[in-house]
A = this chain, B = another copy of it.
């Protein structure tokens, strides 16, 4: 018998970890719902054709495909052989794999909207918190199964949606106690920059190079732009763009000089001003208050489908990649034959948020407590009374256990200690007769003897 093990890149979450993760997810979920977002859940498996071709060539390779069942049935065997030959040529074939595991939450959401758009009420505001799977090479902080946590509004062009999504970021991270910077930019500004540098065909080159600024620095970015065919003058414009600094207002004013005369630039600036302004007056309710929103013209969000405002969230006081990101897109469901559904969405990076909370020691004590009270088991009559008391605490919402068998004090204390249970309630023969119990706060080492009817109060409030 081989020792059991886990597939590479996957994790078990034990009790302490699940409780902490649930704390994060519940905080996000509750906030999504306060803002009118409704939950959606899609299956882990999608038809292979729903997923293929949606994530680029590299993405396609990372999709986990599910082998059809019954391949060795006589009726399937010939087709399966032919299909396998296709797969070895790098093609997909339904006779070998019809289904695959969800790679993100966006494509399943688009598939759902396309399938149900006749029944849905628009704008449709949905959130979705589910695992996704990717056959990436596992490394520190990168897993083959991980949760995504998305909220999107589709079917609305209103910029108040962007204001609300920024408010959700702000509210969630405030509740979690994480100070954040919410970087904001607009793809329209990047488009205007491309135009100022000779044409929209430069957009991809410029975006790719800017995206690397953090990692490789301005000199290497300049080199890359020249290699990609931009001339010295164009590169100079981009350097000027990347150099813009100051407060949000100062930055926007400087940008106006650079691209404000181009329609895309003017529009992008106007949109940023709208979101930042409304966030200050409506969400912060004080235009003079320090805003977590930070205009960052170097923000590009890679080669994805965004077309308007884009966001990225960074935690302060800790070294960590972005813990959230999102933006506006023009067309969610065109790939599935339903055009003209624009939208805007954000997502939270649950694993990184977990690491930030852990590193800054921000998980509240109560999240770290499972069972709150352990009743000792000191004999048949004693444990019967303990059980009855325990049931009444449970009815009041207090999480309790009775030690599973009669045992020495020491053993029962050790159990409470290992399980991090804050209170031990002890009923021996003496206490049984007096209808009292000894309540011991294990963390503080304090103890008191209380009447049975006073027990609930004695263990309330950790």
What is A's interface to B at a CB cutoff of 8 Å? 1-7, 10-15, 18-19, 22, 33-36, 38-47, 49-50, 61-62, 64-67, 69-72, 77, 80-81, 84, 87-90, 96-99, 101, 111-112, 114-116, 121, 123, 125-126, 131, 133, 135, 144-145, 153, 156-158, 160-161, 167, 278, 281-283, 285, 335-337, 370-371, 383-384, 387-388, 391, 394, 397-402, 404-405, 415, 418-419
Contacts and interface: CB of A to CB of B under 8 A. Distances in A.
B66 A40 contact: no
Contacts of A81: 88
Contacts of A282: 384, 387-388, 391
Contact of A35 (B50, B160, B394): B394
Closest 5 CB pairs of A and B: A36-B401, A15-B38, A10-B43, A18-B39, A13-B41
Contacts of A44: 44, 101, 131, 133, 145
13 contacts: A4-B50, A4-B336, A5-B47, A12-B42, A18-B38, A22-B39, A34-B398, A43-B145, A44-B131, A45-B133, A45-B145, A72-B88, A167-B391
B404 A15 contact: no
Counted per complex, copies of this chain come to: 2
A47 B13 contact: no
A201 B116 CA distance: 56
B12 A40 contact: yes
A100 to B, nearest CB: 9
Contacts of A77: 88
A158 B406 CA distance: 10
Nearest to A402: B160
A3 to B, nearest CB: 7
Q: Is the interface of A mostly helix, strand, loop or mixed?
A: mixed
B47 A281 contact: no
A66 B69 contact: no
Nearest to A49: B2
B1 A387 contact: no
A145 B130 CA distance: 14
Nearest to A155: B404
A49 B46 CA distance: 25
Contact of A71 (B14, B88, B98, B167): B88
Nearest to A36: B401
Contacts of A400: 34-36
A416 to B, nearest CB: 10
A33 B335 CA distance: 45
Nearest to A371: B36
Given A36-B400, A80-B88, A121-B418, 20 more contacts: A1-B336, A3-B115, A4-B111, A4-B336, A10-B43, A10-B45, A12-B43, A12-B112, A18-B40, A19-B39, A43-B145, A44-B44, A44-B101, A64-B69, A65-B69, A72-B88, A121-B419, A153-B404, A160-B402, A282-B384
Contacts of A391: 167, 282-283, 285
A148 B431 CA distance: 42
Nearest to A18: B39
Which of A61, A153, A397, A404 has its CB near the most chain B CB atoms (within 10 A)?
Answer: A404
A114 B46 contact: no
A399 B164 CA distance: 13
Given A33-B399, A66-B65, A387-B160, A7 B45 contact: yes
